[in-house]
Structure formats: C-alpha cells, structure tokens
Amino acid sequence: MKKLIIVTLLIMVASCATVKQTTQSAEEDQDHLILATLWYQKSAEMRALFYQCFRNAEIALAENLAWAGRVKPAAVVLDIDETLLDNSPFQGWQVFEKKSFNNDDWFRWVELARARPLPGAVEFTRYADSLGVEVFYVSNRTVQEMGPTIENMATRGFVNADSTHMLLKETTSSKVERRALIEKDYEILLLVGDNLADHSGLYEKRGSDYGFEAVDADRHLFGTKYIVLPNPMYGNWLNEIVRSAPVSTEHEKLLNMLEGF
Ligand SMILES: [Mg+2]
C-alpha cells in the first residue's frame, strides 16, 4: 500500500512538472511585431512625428489657454505608454521569446523602471507646467505598478510624477471615469495619447467600420483638443481586428484583414 502511494505521488509530481514545462515552453510567434517595432525604434520619421505632435500640442494648448470662457483651472491629460514612455523593448523581447502579451511579463518590464522617454514628451509636460496648466497622467498601467512608474518618470524628468497626478487602472480599462474625476476641479484643455480611447469614450468600441465614422465626425478636434501619437505595435485598433477575425492563427487573422488590389 505504502509503495502504491509513493508511485502515485511520483506520477503526480511528474505530470505536474510536464504541465509546467509545457506552459513555459509554449511559444507563439510574434513576428508580426517585427516591422512595427523596428519602425518605432529605428525610423527617423517616428522621431520627427513625435516632435511634430508635441509641437502641435504646445500650440494647441497655448491657444486653448487663451480662451476666455474658462471657469476652472486648466489641465492637460496625457497617457503614459507609447505616449510618454517608450516600451518598444518589451515588444522586441516578445519577438525574441515568442511570447504573446501577458501581465506577468509586462510587470517585470515595468518594475525595471527603465523605459526611455519618447521624443519631445518630457519637454511638453514642462512647457504645460510653465504655463500654469496642471499636468495629469491617465494610464492603464495598474495601481500596483504605481511605484516603478513614478520612479521611471521622475528619473526622466517628467513633471508631477506623483500619485496625485497619476490616475492608474483599478478595475476598468475605460478612462472615462478618471477623466470625469479630473473634470470636477479642472477644465481639460488638451488630451494626448497613442490610443483614441485616451481622448474620448466614444472611440472605445470601434464597431464594424473600425471607428472611422466617429473619427470623421470629430475631425475638427484632432490637432486642437486631441493630439494622437503613432503606435503601429498595438492598441484598440489591433484588438478589434483580432477579435472580429474568424478563428485562426494570429498571422492568418492579420493577413485576412489586408486590403490589396
Ligand atoms: Mg498608450
């Protein structure tokens, strides 16, 4: 009987080890990220675009600030990831390791607190601050990631890198409620982000037209109240495509969506 129990235990241990090993070695090709990540890391066009967007942000902010109808103090709201901080080394790591996004790996990257600032980002927050505009960060980094995020941003010289000005994700990814919280005491003059959900709740669900109609209807807001930064690596735009595509591999899903002639 004792022998049987030991054998059973050994089998259980062995099967657990097999399961763990399988989980760890499960590889998922991330090659679709290569070109987008390379563009982000190595194209001068990307740098120029960031400078262009933040310069536009400065002009728009100064113009909006001059508007006389404001009754509350002015604020600017910025997203963090791929707006102010460059996390593209995480995407590069995903390609090397053949790992799709998961929260544990992401947290390990965040904890390193070594994301570089994007071109023009630090300067823009300082410019807004110099005009007396309150700078807020509304990000879907989680509240558990507050410490290393503050460390990362403070080290890089961003203004207001503190828990009062950083509204991170508690339960919901939607940023609508967090923006409403700021709007109780401030008037948001400008919103800056790489994902349209950073600007308005209207763009959270893209629908069958990928949100094109909603964006077309708001065209007057882009460059005046909304500043959109380029992110070809990930975002709601991609989630929608992957979700709506028929069940197949990631590569096939993306290929299915391509337009040709
Ligand atoms: Mg972002």
| pLDDT tens digits along 98-135 | 999 999 999 999 999 999 999 999 999 999 999 999 99
Amino acid identity for residue 120 in this structure: G
> Angle at the Cα of 229 (from 228 to 233), degrees rounded to 5?
125
Q: Are 162 and 150 in contact (CB under 8 A)?
A: yes
Supply the pLDDT for residue 20.
37
Provide CB contacts within 8 A for 97, sequence distance 6+.
none
Contact 88, 116 (CB under 8 A): no
**pLDDT for position 4:** 54
Helix or strand (DSSP H, E) at 166: strand 166-169
**C-beta atoms surrounding 199 within 10 Å:** 24
How far away, in angstroms, is 63 Cα from ligand 1 center? Answer: 25
**Ligand 1 midpoint to CA 97 (Å):** 23
- Say if residues 54 and 124 touch (Cβ distance below 8 Å): yes
pLDDT of the residue at 70: 86
b/e 138-172 (16+ beta carbons within 10 angstroms → b)? bbbbbeebbebbbebbeebebbbbeeebbbbbeee
What is the Å distance from ligand 1's center to 147 Cα? Answer: 18
234: helix, strand or coil? coil
pTM, entire model: 0.88
Query: Which domains occur in the chain, in start order?
Result: 51-257 (3.40.50.1000)
Helix axes 103-112, 88-97, angle to 10 degrees: 130
Contacts of 17 (CB under 8 A, 6+ apart): none
Q: Please, which residues have CB less than 5 A from ligand 1, an ion?
A: 79, 81-83, 194
What's the CA-to-centroid distance between 226 and ligand 1, angstroms? 14
Distance 195 CA to ligand 1 centre (A): 6
Helix (H, G, I), strand (E, B) or coil at 116: strand
pLDDT tens digits, 238-258: 988 887 777 777 788 888 888
- Using the mean position of ligand 1's atoms as its centre, give its distance from the Cα of residue 116 in Å: 14
Q: At what angle do helices 88-97 and 34-42 cross, to 10 degrees?
A: 140
Q: Which positions of the chain have pLDDT values less than 70?
A: 1-26
Q: 113 — phi, psi (to 5°)?
A: 55, 40
